[in-house]
Amino acid sequence: MLDRRTKGLAPGTVALLEDNARKPVGLVGVTPASKIAGRMLDRDPEAEIGRDWLAARLGKALSLRERVFDTPYYRLVHAEADGFPGVIIDRFGDTCVVQPNAAWAEALLPELAEALAEVTGVTTILKNAGSRGRALEGLDDVDAVLLGEAPDAPVPVEMNGATYMADLTGGQKTGLFYDQRPNHGFAARLARGEAVLDVFSHVGGFALAALAGGAASALAVDGSAPALALAEEGARRMGAAERFSTRQGDAFDTLTALGEEGARFGLVICDPPAFAPAKPALEAGLRAYEKVARLSAPLVEEGGYLVLCSCSHAADLSSFTGACLRGIGRAGRRAQLVHTGFAGPDHPLLPQLAESGYLKALVFRL
């Protein structure tokens, strides 16, 4: 329960948190009206939350990414797991896109931008205000340029031998999903010489990686025409346009239609949005995952592979696996689970916060 004084604090205030015995616990960013009233920033009650503090945290985050990646394309800050509760920062070479989804970070946004430029050397910093979480913090949905100039064209990003076109100002989230990078790579090894179907493809995530891995062909399905246009441009830049095709439409309808057409693929991947973003949506979300599995399994050739993914915080690995297996079974197929994938090292897991390990990718051989 918040007392009257705490309820009166301005959103984004940095305050000292004390336990029932009035013993200091640490410094928190306070948003009294939010579901998360206090976000732990530092266990040291004497810490000064400002530009130098931000720079030190950013330096630690950067050191991890520079150790594991040889190109400046990665998630630089993964919220609580990097000590920045509610903050996402994705790096695209000389540009960083910041999602300050907590009021404390919004209040310190000028200092954060200065520290980010100092630590990384980037010349452009964009604020992306499109997250639904900002509304819960009482924040606006207005994007902004914090440093430099916004790019006037999509930015090419190379991963796993594929070229992705990231729209940093008009695309989904920050423009590209880095979390699936290791799963793209694993699936690409299964794609060699095969026809590949990538459903909920966005800008060609699995499809383009599969083409880079030697797939005979790849069909990308998504509801967004702009996203598919970016995927087509990526395939063109890779020299793989002749092996790549797209199909715009509702994923469930398209899966049903492909089944009726008798289409078969050596590798099918379904990477939907979060069907269960929170606990109230869990049961409906699991039914949706089961339906995806049921509709996609018949499209896989005998001995082929089915990759099913979930980015739902509320659906843990066990419940998601169960939903997938029910769907595969109801499609009349028998499955071997050959690999379980998670997000890459630029999306570290904070063990005390299970939600930071949201991504699951199950690879079945049917």
Instruction: Report whether 340 contacts 308 (CB < 8 A).
Output: no
Quick one: average pLDDT of 290-315?
97
Question: What does the pLDDT look like over 186-196, one tens digit per residue?
Answer: 999 999 999 99
Quick one: average pLDDT of 297-303?
98
Q: Is the pLDDT of residue 116 over 70?
A: yes
Give the pLDDT band (50/70/90) at residue 355.
confident
Q: Is the pLDDT of residue 117 over 70?
A: yes
Give the pLDDT band (50/70/90) at residue 1.
low
Q: State the distance between the two ends of the chain, measured CA to CA, in whole angstroms.
A: 52
* Confidence at residue 33, expressed as pLDDT on a 0 to 100 scale: 83
Q: Rounded CA gap, 324 and 134, in Å?
A: 32
Superfamily holding 155-365:
Vaccinia Virus protein VP39 (3.40.50.150)
pLDDT over 70 for what percent of the chain?
99
pLDDT over 90 for what percent of the chain?
86
247: number of Cβ within 10 Å: 15
Give the type of residue at 333.
R
* Strand partners for 248: 222
Could you write out the DSSP letters of every residue in 303-328? Answer: EEEEEEEE--SSS-HHHHHHHHHHHH
Q: Is 311 a catalytic residue?
A: yes
Question: Which of 96, 270, 309, 311 is flagged as catalytic?
Answer: 311
DSSP state of 13: E
DSSP state of 154: P
Quick one: average pLDDT of 245-255?
98
Q: What's the fold here for domain 51-147?
A: Transcription Regulator spoIIAA (3.30.750)
Quick one: average pLDDT of 174-184?
95
* Confidence at residue 172, expressed as pLDDT on a 0 to 100 scale: 81
Quick one: average pLDDT of 320-336?
98
CB neighbour list of residue 55: distance below 8 Å, 6 or more residues apart: 115, 118, 119
Q: Is the pLDDT of residue 55 over 70?
A: yes
DSSP state of 199: E
Domain range annotation of the chain:
4-42, 51-147, 155-365
